Amino acid sequence: MSRRVSMALLAVLLLPVSWYAAACTPADPDRQFLLDVAQALGGQDRITALKSMAVEGEGDAPMLGQSTMPDSEQPNWKVTEYRRTTDFANDRTDMQQVRTVQFLFAGPGMQRQHQILDGTVAFDLGADGMARRAGAQQARDRRTEMLQHPIAAVRAALAEGTTLSNRRSEGDNDLIDVKTSKGDVFTVAASRSTHLPVSVTTRTSNDNLGDVAVVTTFADYEDVSGLKMPKTVTTRVDKYMQLDLKISRNAVDVDPVPPAPDAVKAAAVPEPPAITVAVEPVTKGVWWLAGSGNHRSIVVEFDDHLLLFEVPLNEARSKAVIDAARALSPKPLTHAVVTHHHFDHSGGLRVAVAEGLTIITQRGSEAFFKDLLARPWTIEPDALARGPKEAKFEFVDDTLTLKDKAMELRLYHLLDNPREGTNLFGYIPRDKLLLQADLYDNTWNQHLWGQNVLDNIKRRGLAVDRDIPVHGAMEPFAVMAQTIAAKPGR
């Protein structure tokens, strides 16, 4: 043995025991799982060195909670232009899209959106070029969306300070939970055979659905400059499709996202608008509850109780409306009419049940509403989760007349409407008042189902003098009919 070799061997033998332990100890199993996934995507070094990436494509973006029937397909926006740039080096993301309506819609048929996140600062660029700061919830949502890509998720999972836990198997996939030093919490699932990511899941609370999983799945991987990137990205909220994107171009190391303007950074984070309820008497025993936003309710007084027509939008709005209704009279508030299943109209269902109100609604919403009441609500417990109560329902098939010596309210199912499959509208014959939600709004751009509404009123033989809406302003029925005729839409 040469002197050089023997001296080298002696040097190795004299190394501390800790060196041998470090050299021989395998990587932590959780960490190794992520390293294997990273290797399948192109390697840890390639991923962590990546400064930016962009995806371009088109697809479908269904509108959650606005289907004709509870179990029918969600109405769709066709996304004709989509580009998202993720700037890892500066912790920014920039999403631009153009989408065109594919369903009956009262507003503009085409929308352009430009949404940016710079660290914790979310802002929008309008068509006028002005940058406007967005709220804290938008910042959180955009942070979540930024991580709904395999490269972004794995890169965050490999970062210093990240905690990995609960490695497990489900079917053909292996999963691991991730919590980053920035507080991002998500689950990565990877194929056991290829180690490529198949999904990223985030759990959150939805105003109507309670605890939900936001699951983004990946398919059709291609090679892009030494990385594997998917050409199909699909996001679902619970069982509902949110975005199905077909990517036409993947790119890496693109131009960075510009920073938020100083004025935007200096601007205060917009707070959610304060909830106000403005009570306006309509006639004897009828009040219109308006205030902030464009969701109103109507209180109807019977001989020994009050009825609330519509508990809209969400728990906070509906609780404020319920409190305002109870302040109108010493008579108890006992019933709430939930006109239909659309999320902005059924958002107060659970708090109405928690407040002990009997729910009157169309039969077609029965199974859906009972499911909403039974869903878990643990992430952000609402009033019903905190104080469970058994729901009381009264279902309407076609018509229901509520009448005593002080008041008569007739409820009718809106028939043959192409957009509103479970809608109930009301009629008070004493005052010839129409009570309605989503049948008509005097601010709409067009009235694509307006003639159907007029036909329903004629079919029921109603002599309406005045429209008392959930959306828009009160006005004479003659004006409503003229507006529908003047702005019929396509």
pLDDT in tens, 351-366: 999 999 999 999 999 9
pLDDT band at 21; cut points 50, 70, 90? very low
pLDDT value at residue 13: 45
Pairing of β 424-428 and β 433-436: antiparallel
Asked if pLDDT for residue 489 goes beyond 70, the answer is no
pLDDT band at 91; cut points 50, 70, 90? very high
Residue 382: count other Cβ atoms within 10 Å of its Cβ. 18
Architecture (CATH level 2) of domain 279-486? 4-Layer Sandwich (3.60)
pLDDT band at 464; cut points 50, 70, 90? very high
Distance, in Å, from the CA atom of 440 to the CA atom of 268, rounded to the nearest integer, reads 36
Q: Kindly report the CA angle at 388 between 385 and 389, in degrees rounded to 5?
A: 140
Distance, in Å, from the CA atom of 301 to the CA atom of 94, rounded to the nearest integer, reads 52
- Separation in Å, CA 321 to CA 78, 266, 355, 390: 36, 35, 12, 21
Cα-Cα end-to-end distance for the chain: 94
The DSSP line for 212-256 is EEEEEEEEEEEEETTEEEEEEEEEEETTEEEEEEEEEEEEES-PP
Distance, in Å, from the CA atom of 294 to the CA atom of 280, rounded to the nearest integer, reads 15
Listed in sequence order, the residues at least 6 apart from 482 whose beta carbon sits closer than 8 Å to its beta carbon are none
Say whether 100 sits in a helix, a strand or coil.
Answer: strand
pLDDT value at residue 26: 58
pLDDT band at 19; cut points 50, 70, 90? very low
Nearest to 437 by CA among 292, 308, 275, 284: 308
pLDDT value at residue 25: 52
pLDDT value at residue 10: 43
pLDDT value at residue 8: 43
Asked if pLDDT for residue 22 goes beyond 70, the answer is no
Helices 150-158 + 29-41 axis angle, to 10: 140
φ, ψ at 365 (rounded to 5°): -95, 0
- Separation in Å, CA 266 to CA 235, 261, 270: 33, 9, 12
CATH code of the region 25-259: 2.50.20.10
On whether the CB atoms of residues 358 and 334 are closer than 8 A, the answer is yes
Q: What residue ranges do the domains of the chain occupy? A: 25-259, 279-486
Tell me the mean pLDDT in the region 182-199.
Answer: 97
Asked if pLDDT for residue 71 goes beyond 60, the answer is yes
Asked if pLDDT for residue 197 goes beyond 70, the answer is yes
- Extended beta strands in 7-160, E state: 52-62, 76-87, 92-101, 110-118, 121-125, 131-133
Instruction: Give me the half-sphere count of Cα atoms (radius 13 Å) on the Cβ side of residue 389.
Output: 18
Nearest to 69 by CA among 486, 413, 446: 413
Question: Per-residue pLDDT tens for 407-445?
Answer: 999 999 999 999 999 999 999 999 999 999 999 999 999
Tell me the mean pLDDT in the region 217-240.
Answer: 98
On whether the CB atoms of residues 474 and 287 are closer than 8 A, the answer is no
Listed in sequence order, the residues at least 6 apart from 424 whose beta carbon sits closer than 8 Å to its beta carbon are 337, 339, 340, 360, 361, 362, 396, 411, 412, 413, 414
Sheet holding 475-476, edge to edge: 399-403, 408-413, 424-428, 433-436, 466-469, 475-476
- The radius of gyration of the chain's CA atoms, rounded to the nearest angstrom, is 28
Instruction: Please give the single-letter amino acid code of residue 73.
Output: E
Listed in sequence order, the residues at least 6 apart from 456 whose beta carbon sits closer than 8 Å to its beta carbon are 412, 414, 415, 416, 417, 425
Residues above pLDDT 70, as percent of the chain: 94
pLDDT value at residue 488: 79
- The rounded mean pLDDT for the chain is 94
